[in-house]
Chain A
Amino acid sequence: MMNTKNEERLFRVLMFFSTVFIVGVLLLIVGSVLYKGVPSLSFAMLTSIPKGGFYFGEDGGILNAIIGSLYLSFGATFLAFIIGWPIALYMNVYLVKYHTLVNAIRFVFDVLWGVPSIVYGAFGFILMVFLGVRASLLAGIITVSLFIVPIMVRAIDESLKSIPHGLLESSLSLGSTRSEISYRIFSREAFQGIITAILLSFGRAIGDAASVLFTTGYTDRIPTSLLEPSATLPLSIFFQLSSPIAAVQDRAYASATVLIVMVLVISLLSRLIGNRRF
């Protein structure tokens, strides 16, 4: 029979190891991807498009995927921002009296946040077929923005929520309209939170593969208009890793390295800008 003291000791050891395990796994993931990817990175890899097809051609690089991913993520984040930012402000400046309603809206966005991106992808595909649009950058931007608006809304909402109520009341009593309070006072007050929300959404947009699989397509070229299909980094990894040709697999590892570096930079930036809780 184990007494409490020994039991506590045992569990403290287990707790310590599970904490170390999480740190170890993160290092292992980043380490193993960089270990494979860094040797295949070169200037030519980053600045040329695949020659002779992304699946069979041995020459060329991943510029199409880098540019495509940037176009897609900037577009989707911008669209999600001009939809999500006003929604979050509306909930906290206009609807502030209706607690139940605001909580219900939060509930809906929380649930939408949890919907798998493949479902958004399938939905985007239905919309495309319905509207008669081919797989294109535009279709991808719309689908991805649908899927990051909930993230944008809830993240901005969290930082607006913490603004003291008195600020709203005193601004109103000085004669500000609610839209002025929203965009001039509340947005300034929550500036750091808004930047963090944008970075968070951007990170999600650039890393998601399932939602762009149906909607953005894949091509060797760099898109010149919104109606052309486009390559993206996650799909560049996914497609090229399954190739039997080693030189093509190298392109996948190089893409993985670029993607992981981008994501790390984004999370570093958001840590620097919005000095987070704790």
Chain B
Amino acid sequence: MRQIKLTRYRKWRNRFHQGWMVIALLGMLLIPLVLVAGLILKSMLLLNTQSVLGLLTSTDWSPLSGHFGFLPFIVSSLWITILSLLISAPVCLLTAIHLTQYAKRWVLRVMHPVIDILAGIPSVIFGVWGILVIVPFISHQLGPLFGKSVSGYSILAGAIVLSIMIIPFMLNMLIDIFRAVPEELKEASLSLGASKWQTIKRVVVKKALPGIVSSFGLGMSRAFGETIAVLMVVGNVTRIPTGVFQPGYPLPALIANNYGEMLSIPLYDSALMLAALILFMVVLMFNIFSRWLIVKTETQS
């Protein structure tokens, strides 16, 4: 009799736990849908009065008179994202090849904590560092070098800070990708008389190419959505930037900077939610494409 009771209790407990697991999982899987629905619903107010194309290509941003042109912000975001990738991609690629192909074991043992710590530093700390080091450096050294007198709060400062932020993220992925290149492939190339460098260039990098591309894609999407650190050093001037020493105003900074004022004007609120929606969509596409590339190559090999 006790045995049966115990069995019943265990069955009930199993059902309870399973129930909670299913609810939690379904709830979390619903989040992206609810998120998109919420953002679309909020931005409909603006989209009903103006066309998407008009909003995305207009440069006139004056919320008080109801003009919402997103172009300056989109252009700033693109400048900063692409520039930060141009800085960090070669560093990551070179370091990843060094660590996986040449370096001794102790170097890896040192570098792993370094990468992990760098990845764990909060973005606001990167912002403080940008203000303390990068902005004065651009203002006092780099600017005069190009014959310009600049404040330092610029596209370039944002891009440098961002590039350091995405290095640990991309480097971790690249190390895993290079590690996954089969040893036999390298040995086959070496035994045919290719030197180590030729093998790396023509075999290892070639084999890892889809992975490299997707890690850069994920790095870019990380850079595109980064807020606080960029906001602190980029200058925040609503104008289409024409050079790296000029201030910019990327999309995430736009949202973060105006959260207080937006409530008084319904259309303004709606415009900022549209900015969040654009951000979400771009990041989503980059993510899906990059991860799909990884999955595709994994199933092929």
Contacts and interface: CB of A to CB of B under 8 A. Distances in A.
Q: Do A and B bind each other?
A: yes
Interface of A: 4-5, 7-8, 11-12, 14-16, 18-19, 21-23, 25-26, 28-29, 32-33, 36, 83-84, 86-87, 89-91, 94, 103, 105, 107-112, 114-123, 125-127, 130, 146, 149-150, 153, 177-180, 182-183, 200, 203, 206-210, 213-214, 234, 237-238, 241, 252-253, 256, 259-260, 263-264, 266-267, 271, 276, 278
B258 to A, nearest CB: 11
Nearest to B161: A29
Given A8-B195, A146-B31, A237 B133 contact: no
Q: Classify the interface of chain B: helix, strand, loop or mixed.
A: helix
A261 B38 CA distance: 37
Interface in B1-18: 10-11, 13-14, 16-18
Contacts of A11: 94, 197
B197 A8 contact: yes
Contacts of A23: 110-111, 114
B29 A105 contact: yes
Interface string B73-117: 000000000000000001100110111001100011111111111
- Give 5 closest A-B pairs by Cβ, nearest first: A116-B225, A207-B122, A8-B197, A15-B98, A179-B17
Interface stretch (B19-27, B56-64, B237-245): B19-27
Interface in B138-180: 164, 167, 171
B212 interface: no
A55 B236 CA distance: 21
A111 B288 contact: yes
B55 interface: no
Nearest to B269: A129
Interface in B22-56: 22, 24-25, 27-29, 31-32, 35, 38-39, 42
Interface residues on B, range: 35 or more
Contacts of A21: 91
Contacts of A118: 225, 227, 252, 255-256, 276, 279
Given A83-B24, A118-B227, A153-B28, 6 more contacts: A33-B132, A107-B295, A119-B279, A127-B38, A234-B122, A238-B228
A266 B189 CA distance: 43
Contacts of B110: 23
Interface of B: 10-11, 13-14, 16-18, 20-22, 24-25, 27-29, 31-32, 35, 38-39, 42, 90-91, 94-95, 97-99, 102-103, 107-118, 120-129, 131-133, 164, 167, 171, 195-198, 218, 221-222, 224-228, 232, 252, 255-256, 259, 272-273, 276, 279-280, 283-284, 286-288, 291, 295
A22 to B, nearest CB: 6
Given A32-B132, A114-B222, A119-B225, A19 B21 contact: no
A15 B122 contact: no
